[in-house]
């Protein structure tokens, strides 16, 4: 090496592991991550190599303790920093399945669902409809009927939905609704995951509010007690949610003046997480404190009583709780350009890099203290050049059969997974205190053709 060359710090996998008691959304690995005597990564007391041996790969590994800690930090933050009643609801679009619903429900959270399927899943997990909130910009009539029958709160997005609900509900059995409004607040995140700016497909335009409030107020079959707004996702600033608190309180004043019995404000979700060291989100507690105090001071300034405050995080509750384990297969070195290491999954189990150019870290689970001396491109196995999980990953030399682990894959990974190339979706296990339990079975070839129908005349 030339004396003038900068000496890059070569990290080991171990150095990515979190320190205990960090806020889950500020850690890269689950809070229980460790390294055992064999130099293997462990989560929830389970050896990742053993898990892959038992359940195969790719494998989603969900650490129960990290998910529970995140739920508790949200609830505790609101309890500590908000003077009124509060509720945390889990944006189940981040990862909806029975076991996740079960854990989150047992921590006392409610649920945000955005489709009949998410509603069904949540109900199947045993969650009471009194803590389910149904979102969506184009709910079907069948979905609205289902939500009404079950008695959940419907977060109404537009006029079509208001009209449908006014027809479906009766004054004797009114629809419990909130109104979703577009706050016109900009925040710095990927344009696909920004929702609060005025040019958004979600929610009522602020200019329409007097008309909407009057229309709803004139219909006894619509019992509207809340206002909602969501400004985007993976947000690192506190200011947008503080501004949102003020905007919602203003609207609440307008709605109450128009005769609506508004007692709840829902400020949405959106707190970011640390996928790589350069991400710097506030902790869950810091975010909750900022948002809660903004609502409190806006109410004090307008001399309004404190509403019940709801927030509905997804990513910051569950992203860091899960990692994905892959097995290394083929490698290819393009001399002078790069080395590809292919793993047995890719864009079908993690569509976020190809969709949002999201960055991830990766470690070799079987050699956690080995220096990461190689710069490689970790590619998936799909027939698409763009199927790259990580560009310029730092890893120790890898061999076919090695287990690589990508952290921060709990949010919008399984939930956006596909069967591209007819690859079955991975299995998932939950780990806790040294035990692993299957929560999602790996999809089989039979599963892949289960819904296929072959008209007799088309049989080969």
Active centre residues (catalytic):
383
**Span of 163-171, 312-320, 328-336, 418-426 interacting with ligand LLP by CB under 6 A:** 312-320
- Over the window 26 to 65, marking each residue x when it contacts ligand LLP by CB under 6 A and - when it does not, the resulting string is ----------------------------------------
270 part of the interface to ligand LLP, by CB under 6 A: yes
Taking alpha carbons only, the member of 238, 235, 233 closest to residue 286 is 238
CA angle 136, 232, 425 (to 5 degrees): 65
Q: Which residues contact 170 (CB under 8 A, 6 or more apart)?
A: 221
Binder among 116, 226, 269, 345 for ligand LLP (CB under 6 A): 269
**C-alpha distances in angstroms, 158 versus 224, 229, 254?**
14, 13, 18
Q: Which residues pair with 59 in a beta bridge?
A: 325, 427
73 part of the interface to ligand LLP, by CB under 6 A: no
Q: Measured between alpha carbons, how far is 247 from 294 in angstroms, rounded to an integer?
A: 10
Taking alpha carbons only, the member of 89, 239, 85, 238 closest to residue 155 is 89
- Over the window 93 to 132, marking each residue x when it contacts ligand LLP by CB under 6 A and - when it does not, the resulting string is xx-----------------x--------------------
Backbone angles phi, psi at 190, to 5 degrees: -60, 140
157 part of the interface to ligand LLP, by CB under 6 A: no
Binder among 316, 350, 367, 409 for ligand LLP (CB under 6 A): 316
**C-alpha distances in angstroms, 164 versus 153, 180, 224, 263, 338?**
15, 16, 15, 24, 57
**Span of 139-147, 279-287, 311-319, 385-393 interacting with ligand LLP by CB under 6 A:** 311-319
Strand 264-266, strand 222-228: pairing: parallel
Toward ligand LLP, which CB reaches closer, 98 or 193? 193
Sign of the four-CA dihedral 414, 417, 419, 423: negative
Q: Measured between alpha carbons, how far is 156 from 208 in angstroms, rounded to an integer?
A: 14
Please, which of residues 343-362 interact with ligand LLP by CB under 6 A?
A: 352, 356
Please, which of residues 376-405 interact with ligand LLP by CB under 6 A?
A: none
**Distance in Å, CB of 332 to ligand LLP, minimum:** 29
**Distance in Å, CB of 356 to ligand LLP, minimum:** 6
Toward ligand LLP, which CB reaches closer, 358 or 367? 358
Q: Measured between alpha carbons, how far is 41 from 401 in angstroms, rounded to an integer?
A: 16
Which residues lie near ligand LLP (CB under 6 A)? 91, 93-94, 112, 135, 193, 195, 230, 233-234, 268-271, 312-316, 352, 356, 411-412, 416
């Amino acid at each position: 090496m030339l004396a003038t060359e900068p000496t890059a710090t070569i990290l080991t996998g171990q150095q990515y592991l979190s320190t205990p008691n960090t806020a889950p959304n500020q850690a890269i690995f689950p809070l229980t991550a460790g390294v055992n005597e064999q130099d293997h990564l462990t989560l929830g007391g389970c050896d990742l190599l053993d898990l892959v041996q038992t359940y195969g790969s790719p494998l989603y590994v969900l650490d129960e303790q990290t998910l529970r800690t995140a739920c508790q930090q949200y609830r505790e933050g609101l309890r500590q920093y908000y003077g009124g009643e509060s509720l945390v609801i889990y944006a189940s679009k981040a990862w909806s399945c029975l076991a996740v619903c079960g854990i989150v429900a047992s921590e006392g959270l409610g649920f945000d669902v955005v489709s009949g399927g998410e509603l069904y899943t949540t109900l199947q997990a045993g969650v009471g409809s009194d803590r389910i909130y149904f979102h969506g910009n184009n709910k079907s009539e069948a979905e609205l009927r289902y939500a009404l029958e079950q008695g959940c709160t419907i977060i109404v997005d537009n006029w079509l939905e208001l009209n449908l609900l006014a027809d479906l509900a009766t004054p004797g059995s009114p629809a419990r609704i909130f109104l979703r409004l577009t706050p016109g607040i900009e925040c710095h995140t990927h344009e696909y995951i920004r929702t609060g700016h005025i040019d958004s497909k979600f929610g009522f335009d602020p200019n329409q509010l007097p008309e909407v409030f009057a229309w709803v107020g004139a219909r006894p079959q619509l019992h509207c007690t809340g206002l909602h707004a969501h400004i985007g996702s993976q947000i690192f600033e506190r200011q947008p949610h503080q501004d949102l608190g003020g905007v919602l309180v203003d609207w609440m004043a307008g709605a109450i003046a128009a005769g609506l019995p508004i007692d709840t404000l829902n400020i949405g979700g959106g707190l970011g997480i640390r996928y790589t060291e350069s991400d710097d989100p506030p902790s869950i507690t810091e975010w909750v404190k900022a948002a809660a105090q903004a609502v409190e001071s806006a109410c004090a300034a307008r001399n309004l009583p404190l509403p019940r405050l709801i927030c509905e995080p997804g990513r910051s509750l569950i992203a860091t709780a899960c990692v994905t384990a892959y097995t290394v297969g083929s490698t290819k070195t393009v001399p002078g350009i790069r080395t590809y290491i292919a793993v047995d999954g890719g864009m079908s189990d993690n569509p976020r890099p190809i969709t949002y150019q999201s960055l991830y870290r990766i470690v070799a689970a079987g050699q956690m203290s080995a220096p990461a001396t190689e710069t490689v491109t970790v590619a998936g196995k799909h027939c698409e050049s763009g199927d790259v999980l990580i560009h310029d990953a730092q890893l120790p030399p890898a061999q076919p059969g090695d287990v690589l682990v990508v952290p921060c894959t709990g949010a919008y990974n399984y939930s956006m997974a596909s069967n591209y190339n007819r690859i079955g979706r991975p299995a998932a296990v939950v780990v806790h205190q040294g035990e692993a339990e299957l929560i999602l079975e790996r999809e089989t070839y039979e599963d892949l053709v289960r819904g296929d129908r072959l008209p007799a005349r088309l049989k080969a």
